[in-house]
Amino acid sequence: MTNLPATRRTILKAAGSMLTLPFLPSLGWRRAAAASPVIPPKRMVFLGFGWGVTNETWFPDRKATGRDYPLPAGLEPLERHKARFSVIQGLSNRFTTEAHWGSTFWLTGANRYGEPGKSFSNSISADQVAAGAFGAATRFASLQLGTLDAANSGHGPGLSLAWDSRGRPLAALDTPVAVFHRLFSGESQSLEERQTLLAAQQSVLDAVRADAARVRKGLSTADTDKLDEYLQSIRDIEVRLAKEKEWLTVPKPQPAGEIREPAEKIAGHDEIKVMYDLLAAALQTDSTRVITYRQPVGALLTGLGINVAPHDMSHYQPGERMQASQKRDAKQSELLAGLFDRLASIREADGSSLLDHTTVVYGSNIRSIHYLDNCPTLVAGGGAAIRLGEHIVLPDHTPLANLWLTLLQGSGVNVQSHGDSTGSLDALVA
Amino acid sequence: MGGSRDPQTVAALRLAASFLACLMAGAGERGAQAAAGTAPFDSAGRHIIEPFLAAHCLECHGAKEPAAGVRLDDVPFEVNTVETAERWQKVLNVLNSGEMPPEERPRPDDAAKAEVLAVLSRAMVTARAVIGDAGRVSLVRRLNRREYRHTLRDLLGIDIDAAAVDTSGLPDDTGTAAFDTIGSGLFMSSDQFEQYLTIGRAAIEAAASDWPRPGDLQPEQKSGRREVETDAQKKIAGLLNGYFLTGYRKAKEWEASGGKPASEFGFPDEHEARFRIQQYENHGPYLERFLALPHSDAGAYLMYTTNNYHDSELIAVPANSPPGDYVLRVRIGATPEATPLRRFLEWGMQPSKGDDEKSDFRSLGTFHVTGTIEEPQTIEIPVRVTAHGPRTWRVREKRFNDGKADGFRNGLAKAANGVGLDHALWIDWVEWEGPLPRSSPSPICSQVFDGLAKKASEEVLAKTILRRFGTLAFRGATPSPEFLDRLVAVYRAKRQMGAPPIEAIREPMAVILASPGFLYLADPTAERGDATADEPSAVGTESRRLSARELATRLSYFLWSAPPDEELLALAAADTLSKPDVLATQVDRLLADARSHDFAAGFVHQWLGLDRLDFFRFDHELFPDFDEATRAAAKHEVYETFHTLVSGNVDTRNLLQSDFVVVNGLMAAYYGLDDGGSPVIGDEFRIVKLPPESPRGGLLGMAAILAMGSNGERTSPVERGAWVLRKLINDPPPPAPPNIPQLTRLEGQQITSRERLRMHQEQAQCAQCHRMIDPIGLGLENFDAAGRWRTEEHFYGRGWVVEGKLAGKVVRKSWPIDPSGALYGGPSFGDFFQLRTEIAARHSDGFVRGLIESLYSYALGRPVSFADGETVDGLLAAAKRDGYHLRDILHAIVATPEFQTK
């Protein structure tokens, strides 16, 4: 069932025929790794919905903690998976004050004003910390999924949920069809052509670097810092090109059965569903181990026939808008349940399920309306060895970054702090 | 590995964290030194805070065993470090949320608490500014999204938006700083670099179609006219006689047959048969009227409903026509039934594919229809056809993009007259013509490809082209030899991959458009010999005079959002630009150029926060005329008013109150205005005198400003009041704090806005700001959510049913509007007119200061620093002395040493 052996075979075969190429050492390393006993790798998935949830009907009763808590209406579609996830209350990002930014600082815990003299700064997101640790083994260090509907969905500044080590936004693949092609499209060009193409890309980078050297001359120190952003982005591309080079001879995997090229124009409910399928397929084929998904909210509403602007819905009050907000909650939970079905059904080589080795986080920096405390948080899967099937209420204003730290450490990432974390959450550890 | 951590690590981390905090605090102090004399708490504020702390806090949070380890007796009142600011912020937070003082302690008096909260939150705003003060350094910055687009336009002769180049991968660059010209807010990432490369390739490909080729001749100009009645008649008659009438007649036969199965009449079941009767009754009369109307045999009426009807006209340039400039023409007239607001033709792009045409319509503008069926007019629309850009455009009657709005409006009319909405516009024919001879060839043709040495080798030729193009793209700076060599290598690689020279050259050109010399407004170019023009005076220091070329660039991006033209660059090369009289002449020249509209739009949009207007869908039932095109025109009214004040060098205070408006035909129709008895005709914005009783005139009377103080359905006096404080009175209230309970308990009750807002005064947390905000907002209540004048406020309920499904809103209850109130700590006013007069009379200095600071910050690409105080004071004093003339203010800003300094 699993695609891992197939991939290994392909690598071995490819390595055998490519002995004279200079990037052999890295392939040799991978061959050695592949030969060791199969321990399913850890994966991390972060799903962010911008505009929060309906406070009254999404959160479990704060008094009913532990395993025996009734699922509230907003989470009801997840009933069949209740043992697979925990709902955590009490978490928030203490520096966040922007009531319309549901995703900008969600995974970073940064202080917008943290750098004196700047009106905006951010820091690395939890997924990128994980990508730094897991990324070397896969074709893509991480995947950022997004939507064309982001502006309408309460996410705030950023291009995806992910921010790099210098707090710069990372771009997302905004349509299912783009994700499909990134993951599975076979190269129409020959190996030689692709090598030439990579060399051409490198020559482009060499060219702009030469111009940067001219511009750099005579700049003040502060200006040089600004230009260094540009140079750093060039270096980032080179790192990626190096990786592409390494994977040049490894054909892209083929997705399992029902995954086909998605239609160009799908939005809302179907868009999320197909993205979830692709997300599962990306993990299944071990194309990457770290995925973030900044989801559409506006298009989801439109698709549900709800004619309330998303921002208005987030300011729900009893009546039409609150109903819209609740329908949104239920639909999102239903889609999430579908993702859990999928991840739980995929078998690893040792017979366990993919979900057993994956951490799935589902949440937002906005609770509802303009509330930024008690951020809605649901964590599923066995990747980080946390308590599952429980409703956990932490002390109010526990840093969200503590959760990220706990999940990263639980997944085997060697990290001692993240964002504004004050320590890991013992209450979560199973 | 896992969740555990040893205490030593934790301690070490804490130490590191506090060390970091010290570092940050140090940086904060540096900022504060520049701001000497600006203590966040003034002495009056201190006198309010100190007794409150003593009475309610210090008993537990004093020096001796402070509760929860929080000491408040030693928090400095000089807030100039991040640490101190955060201590005060915590105090503010717990007071706001009501957490402190704890329930068992005596409650502070509400009025006293409101005062304390007011002082504290203001102090936090100031403290943030002090700590965030970066001094007077303008960072080198990259082009923002608007400038990038305009720069490509001036360089390549291609508007990437009109050529439908996908730019969605670029950040929009607004939102992280006050203006998109502020360098510290403009980031760069690897994804973005690749976007620049991709967009550059597409733009060059689109532009390349009019580059000269060997033996090139101007392609033959052709045209195609379509008499629209043929298609419309065919479509409508076909629908009516086919689907509707055939089905109806069959179904009627079935009905008359007395119980025979529907299948005998060709229907799957009887529901379908009944449905077909209903379909004809709903739509048939509308189609029959279309065919029966006079002139429907000579032209086509545009319909105001979607379905499969003909509701728009397509104008398509054939696929095999060469790229170039084309003109589209529409021969059109309005019907006698057309009301003033239904005399507008909207044109836009045809979606690429799919049947969801309606929602995909991308509006590109509107035209005022002034002809009649007897005397039609011809509307001309210039378009640019590129190799892969759009070739099909549509025209339709101006309307909401949401198809439901059409159905609703048509349903209303049908309920009244049994047929449907009257036709407003009639089209005689449509045509296209082109490619036209280019009026102004792109600079590339004359400056890059002209006069190339015929006998040079291919790579030498390529290098020459790239040097010329690079110099243009770098705004006069010469690309370095190393860069050119690398570019030629890129060219060579393309050639080796099999591209012909004309295509291979595009790749290194696209690389130029993604290189720092193009993307960054930095131009030290110290390596060239002619130091006077090129070399900045003090390389490497934080502050120095701009080089002549840098000054040209700063000036053109300030007043055009576009690169300097040949004249500016020539003055820079001659090193005469910084002479005061030369500079002043150039400011006037730039402001007289059409590109200055981009400055007006870009600056005003951000200064006044007009992006809020796009947050909401406007309710088409309540505001049938406030569709997307009207909203766009309403925004343009704001930009064009500003631009008119600049061009005419008019008193800036006209933005607070004026006896004229700057409108086009559409906005005049929306406001119900005429120009001294004659109608305002056409699409150009112009000055129109107002009758004395008009509430228009000044920002407070503009539909865009009023509408963004709403949620698309109801007015928001709070948004409006806060906006007035921020932008007109220049006394911004602190941002709405998070986590304050939302007032929901009155939702659904039939009460007035005033009663609703009264609740804000109940809690001290709310009252401290709302007592300033709400009276102003309530004073504007005579304007509804779409900016129309009203005297009554309504409570709506779901109303009645049209065609079995359309529920309309009906007025359930009405109240007369009472706009009276008093400015906080100021005079009272009886109505909107008095409120406007009070603001204009008492706050014009504050308003102009806010505008000057915004212009200054926008122009210099950095926030206004405390150290700029004297300069801004000087600008304001000069403006006041000279009658607040807007163009003079721009001149004065350009003349400051700061504008000419990096």
Same domain for A147 and A194, yes or no, is no
Residue with the larger pLDDT of the pair A259 and B263: B263
Does residue A302 have a pLDDT over 50? yes
pLDDT tens digits along A411-425 = 999 999 999 999 999
How does residue B528 score in pLDDT terms, banded at 50, 70 and 90?
A: very low
Return the residue of B nearest to A104 by Cα.
B176
What is the pTM for the complete model shown?
0.82
Q: Return the pLDDT at B132.
A: 66
Tell me if the bond preceding B322 is cis, omega within 30° of 0.
no
Q: What is the pLDDT of residue A216?
A: 86
Whether the CB-CB separation of B191 and B169 falls below 8 Å is answered with yes
Is the Cβ–Cβ distance between B140 and A227 less than 8 Å?
yes
For the stretch B125-140, pLDDT in tens is 777 777 766 677 777 8
A117 confidence band (pLDDT: 50, 70, 90): low
Interchain contact A244–B (C-beta under 8 A)? no
Instruction: State how far the Cα of B463 lies from the Cα of B485, in Å rounded to an integer.
Output: 8
Which tokens go with A90?
């009490």
* Chain A residues lying within 8 Å of B616, measured CB to CB: 309, 311-312
Q: Does residue A266 belong to the interface with chain B, where contact is any CB pair within 8 Å? A: no
Whole-number pLDDT of residue A88: 98
C-alpha distances (whole Å) from B721 to each of B20, B51, B120, B777, B835 are: 40, 31, 21, 4, 12
Q: Tokens standing for B833?
A: 């007119």
Give A211's contacts in chain B (Cβ within 8 Å). Answer: 479-480, 483, 515-517
Counting residues of chain B whose pLDDT is more than 90, the rounded percentage is 49
Chain B contact present for A315, CB below 8 A: yes
User: CB distance from A171 to chain B under 8 Å?
Assistant: yes
| Portion of chain B with pLDDT greater than 70, in percent | 86
CATH code assigned to B225-436: 2.60.120
CB atoms inside a 10 Å sphere around CB B528? 12
Residue B873: its H or E element? helix B869-881
Return residue ranges of chain B for CATH 2.60.120: 225-436
Which pLDDT tens digit goes with each residue over B169-224? 777 777 667 898 887 778 787 888 888 999 999 999 888 876 766 556 677 899 99
Q: Under an 8 A CB cutoff, do B24 and A114 touch?
A: yes
What pLDDT was estimated at residue A11?
37
Put simply, the answer to whether B508 touches A118 (Cβ < 8 Å) is no
Q: Which residue's structure tokens are 């020249």?
A: B589
**Statement to judge: residues A12 and A118 lie in one domain:** no
pLDDT tens, position by position, A140-163: 999 999 998 887 788 988 889 999
Dist CA A116 CA B128 (whole Å) = 9
A142 touches B at CB < 8 Å: no
Tokens of B522: 């930095």
Query: Which residue in chain A has the smallest CA separation from B24?
Result: A116
- The distance of A253 to chain B (nearest Cα, Å) reads 24
Option in A200, A208, A318 nearest B516 (CB): A208
- Report how far apart, in Å, the C-alpha atoms of A26 and of each of A19, A137, A245 are: 12, 10, 11
**Whole-number Å distance between alpha carbons of B679 and A306:** 41
Contact B542 A220 (CB under 8 A): yes
CA dihedral A212, A213, A217, A219 (to 10 degrees): 30
Given a contact cutoff of 8 angstroms between Cβ atoms, the answer to whether B417 and B185 are in contact is no
Rounded-to-integer distance, Cα B758 and Cα B751, Å: 11
- pLDDT 10s digits, B479-517: 999 999 999 999 999 998 899 998 999 999 999 999 999
| Winning range, highest mean pLDDT, from A8-17, A136-145, B388-397, B653-662 | B653-662
Q: What is the pLDDT of residue B741?
A: 60
Which one of A235, A250, A265 terminates a domain? A250
User: Per residue in B215-225, pLDDT tens?
Assistant: 566 778 999 99
Of B838, B25, B26, B684, nearest in space to B365 by CA: B684
* pLDDT score of A187: 67
Q: Any idea what DSSP says for residue B619?
A: -
Q: What would the mean pLDDT of B301-326 be, rounded to a whole number?
A: 81
Average pLDDT over residues B700-721: 94
Instruction: Inform me whether the C-beta atom of residue A190 falls under 8 Å from chain B C-beta atoms.
Output: no
Which pLDDT score is estimated for B631? 95
Give the number of other Cβ atoms within 10 Å of residue B800's Cβ: 10
* Closest to B94 (Cα-Cα) out of B56, B55, B151: B56
Distance from CA of B245 to the nearest CA of A (A): 32
Q: Give the domain-ending residue among A200, A218, A250.
A: A250
pLDDT of residue B864: 86
Dist CA A111 CA B487 (whole Å):
41
**Mutation for testing the B interface, residue in A97, A198, A225, A230 having most B CBs under 10 Å:** A230
Q: Measured between beta carbons, which residues in chain A are less than 8 angstroms from residue B490? A: 200, 203-204, 207
| Domain count of the fold of chain A | 3
Could you tell me the pLDDT band of residue B529, with boundaries at 50, 70 and 90? very low
A chain contacts of residue B177, beta-carbon cutoff 8 Å: 119-120
What number of C-beta contacts closer than 8 Å exist between A and B? 244
Q: Give the 3-state secondary structure of residue B428.
A: strand
A39 in contact with B, Cβ within 8 Å: no
Q: Quick one: CA dihedral B688, B694, B700, B703, positive or negative?
A: negative
- CA A12 to chain B, closest CA, distance in angstroms equals 30
Q: What is the pLDDT of residue B215?
A: 56
Q: Does A199 touch chain B (CB under 8 A)?
A: yes
Least CB–CB distance from A233: residue in B131, B193, B540: B193
Closest Cβ–Cβ partner in A117, A319, A372 for B132? A117
CB atoms within 10 A of CB B244: 20
Average pLDDT over residues A252-277: 85
**Gap from A317 CA to chain B (nearest CA, Å):** 6
- What letter does residue B340 receive in the DSSP assignment? G
Average pLDDT estimate for A317-330: 86
Inter-chain contact B483–A118, Cβ cutoff 8 Å? no
Chain B positions in Cβ-Cβ contact with residue A190 (cut-off 8 Å) = none
DSSP 3-state of A375: coil
Specify the higher pLDDT residue, B239 or B562. Answer: B562
Whether residues A409 and A279 fall in one domain: yes
Provide the domain limits for residue A210: 188-250
A1: closest CA of chain B, how far (Å): 30
Question: Same domain, yes or no, for A206 and A176?
Answer: no
Note whether A213 contacts B183, CB cutoff 8 Å.
Answer: no
Instruction: Find chain B residues with C-beta within 8 A of A369's C-beta.
Output: 742
Q: Give the per-residue pLDDT at B308.
A: 58
User: Quick check: A303 contacting B, CB < 8 Å?
Assistant: no
Name the most confidently modeled range: A96-105, B233-242, B486-495: B486-495
Q: Using CA atoms, how far apart are residues B514 and B517, in angstroms rounded to an integer?
A: 8
Residue A206 has pLDDT above 80, yes or no: yes
Interface confidence (ipTM) of the complex:
0.78
Does residue B106 carry a pLDDT above 60? Answer: yes
Q: Across the interface, which of B171, B356, B539 has its CB nearest the CB of A159?
A: B171
The 10s digit of each residue's pLDDT in B722-779 is 999 999 999 888 777 666 666 555 556 677 888 878 877 777 777 878 889 999 999 9
pLDDT in tens, B792-810: 998 887 665 545 555 577 7
Residue B16 has pLDDT above 60, yes or no: no
Mutate to test the interface with A, among B176, B402, B550 (most CBs of A within 10 A): B176
Q: Is pLDDT above 80 for B863?
A: yes
Residue B434 or B616, more confident: B434
Sort B777 into a burial class: Cβ within 10 Å, 0-12 / 13-18 / 19+.
buried
Q: Which residues of chain B make contact with A309, given a CB cutoff of 8 A?
A: 615-617, 711-712
How far apart CA B339 and CA B448 sit, in angstroms, is: 53
**Mean pLDDT over each residue of chain B, to the nearest integer:** 84
pLDDT of residue B532 exceeding 60: no
Distance of CA B309 to the CA centre of its chain: 34
CA distance A353 to chain B (A): 21
Q: What is the pLDDT of residue A256?
A: 67
3-state SS, residue B331 = strand
Residues B346-355: tens digit of each pLDDT: 998 865 544 4
Does position B142 have pLDDT exceeding 50, yes or no? yes
Using a CB-CB distance cutoff of 8 angstroms, which residues of chain B are in contact with residue A406? 3
Of B27, B30, B517, Cβ closest to residue A214? B517
> Which chain A positions have a beta carbon within 8 Å of B192's beta carbon?
171, 233
B716 with B687: CB under 8 angstroms?
no
Instruction: Please state whether beta strands A143-145 and A290-294 pair in parallel, antiparallel, or not at all (unpaired).
Output: parallel
Please indicate, yes or no, whether residues A381 and A421 belong to a single structural domain of this protein.
yes
| Residue B363 Cα, gap to closest chain A Cα (Å) | 19
Residues linked to residue A163 through DSSP beta bridges, in sequence order: A169
* Secondary structure of residue A386 in the 3-state scheme: strand
Give the mean pLDDT of A115-119: 67
**Angstrom distance (rounded) from CA A121 to CA B260:** 76
Mean pLDDT of chain A: 85
Helices (H), B347-480: 357-360, 403-417, 443-447, 458-473
Over residues B635-662, the pLDDT tens digits come to 999 999 999 999 999 999 999 999 999 9
Q: Answer whether the bond into residue B101 is a cis peptide, omega within 30°.
A: yes
Q: Are residues A30 and A117 in the same domain?
A: no
Token readout for A74 is 């907003």
Q: Which residue of B has its CA nearest to A264?
A: B354
How far A85 CA sits from the closest chain B CA (Å)? 19
Cβ <8 Å between B176 and A203: no
Strands (E), B335-466: 344-349, 362-368, 377-385, 392-397, 425-436
Query: Which of B1, B183, B525 is nearest residue A412 as measured by Cβ atoms?
Result: B1
C-alpha pair distances (Å), A19 with each of A251, A291, A332, B383, B864: 17, 33, 49, 57, 62
State the CB neighbour count (10 A cutoff) for residue A312.
Answer: 19
Say what the pLDDT of residue A24 is.
28
Which chain B residue is nearest to residue A149, measuring alpha carbons?
A: B168
Report A:8-27 residues touching B (Cβ under 8 A): none
**What's the CA gap between B612 and B708, in Å, rounded?**
6
Name residues whose C-beta falls within 8 Å of residue B589's C-beta, 6 or more positions apart in sequence.
B567
Residue in A with minimal Cα distance to B711: A312
